[in-house]
Amino acid sequence: MDRPDGYGAVSRALHWIMAVILAWQFTSAAVRQLLPDTPVEDFFWFPHTSLGLLLFVLVLARGAWALANARRRPRTGLAARMGHVVLYLLMIAIPTLGLLRAYGRGRGYSPFGIEIFSRRDQEIESLVELANDWHGLLGWTLIGLVAGHVLMAFLHRKPDGSPVLTYMTKGK
């Protein structure tokens, strides 16, 4: 469980595991833009859609854990709280759009070899277009906000004067 003087082991594990997987997602997206049709792209891109589903499942568990711990967590200002809510909304919206695209394409979707959507004959163009318009855009927005979030983690101070970073590293 979390405590007002630091996040507990579950919150910290979810935070850092997701940060590492998100770093992979952004690397894969950047490599896809910068080094298309290269072995580097193949290497980073091939798990993108599977890891996206994993992140989707993890963010739901993390959100539920955050709500269960809401009263025990370190106190944050309103701006920081709103910032965290926006990060959650993006962490939910981005993979949701990815999944809608995978469904709309109708080519089947089997992350980690588990069939989630089977093949269909027809594409649902509206779903694919919606995702094409927003998935990447929101993805790049998220990385921009994460950069601000990391900066704030070093700048914001705890009541004892140390950076709030230690709430999420050492924990309680």
CB 152 within 8 A of CB 86: no
For residue 72, the minimal CB distance to ligand HEM (Å) is 12
Name which of 40 and 153 has its Cβ closer to ligand HEM: 153
Helix (H, G, I), strand (E, B) or coil at 38: coil
Phi-psi region of 99 (alpha: psi -120 to 50; beta: other; left: phi over 0): alpha
Instruction: Decide if residue 58 touches ligand HEM (CB under 6 A).
Output: no
Instruction: Decide if residue 25 touches ligand HEM (CB under 6 A).
Output: yes
Instruction: Decide if residue 22 touches ligand HEM (CB under 6 A).
Output: yes
| CA Rg value for the chain | 18
| Burial track 91-119 (b if 16+ CB lie within 10 A, e otherwise) | bebbbbbbbbbbbbbbeebebeeeeebee
CB 59 within 8 A of CB 92: yes
Instruction: Decide if residue 27 touches ligand HEM (CB under 6 A).
Output: no
Instruction: Decide if residue 3 touches ligand HEM (CB under 6 A).
Output: no
Q: Which stretch binds ligand HEM (CB under 6 A): 36-44, 117-125, 159-167?
A: 159-167
Q: Which stretch binds ligand HEM (CB under 6 A): 35-43, 117-125, 147-155?
A: 147-155
Site string for ligand HEM, 84-103 (x = CB under 6 A): x--xx--x--xx--xx-xx-
